[in-house]
Chains A and B, each alone.
Chain A
Amino acid sequence: MPGAARTASRRFALAALVAALLLGLGGAGAAPGLETDQFFAWGRHLEDMTEVLNARVNLELERLVADLNRDGGERPCQKVRLRFFKRHRMLFFDGFETWSVNSPLVSRSPLGPEEMREFEQKYIYGGTSPLFDTGRWMPSSPTVEVNGIRLGTDKLTHFLGTAWYYHRWYRKARARGATPAEAEDRAVRRGLRHEITILGRAVSGVLSLADLEANYEGMWFYERLCAGDDPHVVHEGGLWRLRGPFDLRDYVTPEWDESWQPNIYVRRKWGKVKPRMLGYCPMLEHPRVRARRREYAKRDRVTETEELIDEMVTAGKLPDPSGFSIESVCDEVANRGSVRGRAAGSGLRRADR
């Protein structure tokens, strides 16, 4: 019956519109976010999780080896990499991240309902709209400490999940005759395009350089998984075996900490983030924060991702990330006389590196 069908279609369209509006508003208290906030963890004690996270990844590598031996025979390294990736791939988040945000063995912040409530009050992205800020449609990633470096657990998804795609681009470029350096460059550029468009800035208003760093390091993890001079997994004497254990310390750098490596924000988001960041200016004087940033300054280096970002900044394609750093924010206020230049004298400025 065409008349009835038209009526049903109209009613359906109306209902869809009403549902989108009402349910969107009704869900305003839903997800804290897709991002991570290392500022919240400033001054809070966290156990170093290097051993625990290494053990978790090595357990999966051991199981990968067992699977390979069960199936028998040699196989191309790329298939081994894919098999490892598939072992922990989950819906949206990586299996390692899911484990790290849930396991009682992982010291993290926020942890437990009480700290979670405090986090929701102080969350660096808490000033944005939970309805219109797509970054808040997903849960935020707590902070963990690895080898003295604070990082969001989302970096595990970047390092072991997103990096798989980086590595695929790398291998593709190599297969087309690119040198390792050219292939690396192509993968990193493509990754940046993704982070600017579908994965980051255009969607959530944040371009996370720390995410890019984790992606980049993960690309090398996948490359070394079963190839190169020192692979983790080898096929010898008709059997697969774990030759060298995985160690996160080979990959994690201070650039993974988003309170050290500033994100690049779009204007609408920055307007909401900056006031919350200002609240952390006094914390720059906290002994633990000072000590950590001093240590970071020693370990910081110019990474390949940073070189690419500098190139984009010079070409006017991206704003300078140093303008979004905590020091820059605090200096700006200090220069206006609201706060005496606490940050200026700290000697721990990432922007001056």
Chain B
Amino acid sequence: MPNTPLAVGALVIVLQALPAAAREVGDDARAEPSSSETADRVQADVDETSLRWLGIARVRYSIPLDFSAGAGAVLARMPASYDCTTFCEYRGFVAQIEPGSAGGQLGVGYARVIATHKPRSAFLNNVYVGWSARAVLVRTWGDSELDPARQTLAGFEGQFALPRLSFNLGVLRRISSAHEDADRYVYTAGIGWGF
């Protein structure tokens, strides 16, 4: 006669093991695409945003400023966790002041730029690609090609930037007084480095 207590014990062990075995089989089946905990973390990461400003700089040759150097800032909202070591897209308000050999310009507008900045630097370092549309106020001086040489203009400027070059085109309307023959509109163009 078989040892009954032993057989019962073995049966109990087998029965207890069954759910575990079933669970193991279940584990082999494909897991859910993502857990709710992960989903919550991702959502928090995406939704927690902060406003960041970063300095921008450019040097360029343009009509009517001739050689100029500009400095300003881009203010953009993005997820707070972004480290921007590889790249970030900055989308937002841009403002820049730019004195040149034949005039100076103040511009404000909207920019979208993919760029990086060096650690602990407040300036965009590598601009990969970007564009901006700005309302600009220009005052010419010195040996400006315009007639008259000293005048104030207002208008719009579009900028397109590639990794090493930046191009801009625009149109300005004279807002200061001038003699009758003076052109009222000036078309602008420029090429340079930076944003």
A and B from one complex: yes
* A contact residues vs B (CB 8 Å cutoff): 1, 4-5, 7-8, 11-12, 15-16, 19-20, 23-24, 26-27, 30-31, 50-52, 54-56, 58-59, 90-93, 98-99, 101-105, 111-113, 116, 131, 137-142, 245-249
The answer, among A12, A20, A50, A56, for a CB contact under 8 Å with B165, is: A20
Interface 1/0 per residue, B16-58 and A, CB below 8 Å: 0000000000000010111100110111011000000000000
Chain B residues near A139 (CB, 8 Å)?
A: 86-87, 114, 116, 126, 128
* A112 and B85 contact, CB distance less than 8 A: yes
Interface 1/0 per residue, B157-177 and A, CB below 8 Å: 000001111000000000000
Chain B residues near A11 (CB, 8 Å)?
A: 61
* A102 and B46 contact, CB distance less than 8 A: no
* A103 and B45 contact, CB distance less than 8 A: yes
* B contact residues vs A (CB 8 Å cutoff): 30, 32-35, 38-39, 41-43, 45-46, 60-61, 63, 67, 79, 81-89, 112-114, 116, 119, 126, 128-131, 145, 147, 162-165, 189, 191-193
* A8 and B63 contact, CB distance less than 8 A: yes
**Residue with the greatest number of chain A CB neighbours at <10 A, chosen from B32, B33, B88, B145:** B33
Q: Count how many pairs of residues, one from A and one from B, have CB atoms less than 8 Å apart in the complex.
A: 141
Closest residue on chain B to residue A53 by CB atoms: B34
* B82 and A56 contact, CB distance less than 8 A: no
What is the CA–CA distance of A89 and B120 in the complex, to the nearest angstrom? Answer: 29
Closest Cβ of chain A: how far from B153's Cβ, in Å? Answer: 16
Known: A8-B63, A54-B34, A246-B33. A103 touches B79 (CB 8 A): yes
Chain B residues near A103 (CB, 8 Å)?
A: 45, 79, 81-82
Top-4 shortest CB links A-B: A15-B61, A55-B34, A27-B164, A102-B82
Closest Cβ of chain A: how far from B144's Cβ, in Å? Answer: 10
Chain A residues near B128 (CB, 8 Å)?
A: 31, 92, 137-139
* A51 and B38 contact, CB distance less than 8 A: yes
What is the CA–CA distance of A142 and B193 in the complex, to the nearest angstrom? Answer: 27
What is the CA–CA distance of A140 and B86 in the complex, to the nearest angstrom? Answer: 7
The answer, among A59, A111, A138, A142, for a CB contact under 8 Å with B42, is: A59
What is the CA–CA distance of A14 and B45 in the complex, to the nearest angstrom? Answer: 49
Excluding A23-B164, A137-B128, 4 further A-B contacts by CB distance (< 8 Å) are A51-B33, A102-B81, A103-B79, A249-B33
Chain B residues near A50 (CB, 8 Å)?
A: 33-34
* B164 and A56 contact, CB distance less than 8 A: no
* B130 and A58 contact, CB distance less than 8 A: no
The answer, among B61, B87, B126, B162, for a CB contact under 8 Å with A98, is: B87
What is the CA–CA distance of A26 and B165 in the complex, to the nearest angstrom? Answer: 11
* A52 and B191 contact, CB distance less than 8 A: no
29 chain-A/chain-B pairs, Cβ below 8 angstroms: A4-B145, A11-B61, A12-B189, A16-B61, A23-B164, A24-B165, A31-B128, A50-B33, A52-B42, A54-B33, A55-B41, A56-B42, A90-B89, A91-B112, A91-B114, A93-B114, A99-B46, A102-B79, A102-B81, A102-B84, A104-B45, A104-B83, A116-B86, A138-B129, A139-B87, A139-B114, A139-B126, A141-B86, A245-B34
* A51 and B34 contact, CB distance less than 8 A: yes
Closest Cβ of chain A: how far from B87's Cβ, in Å? Answer: 4
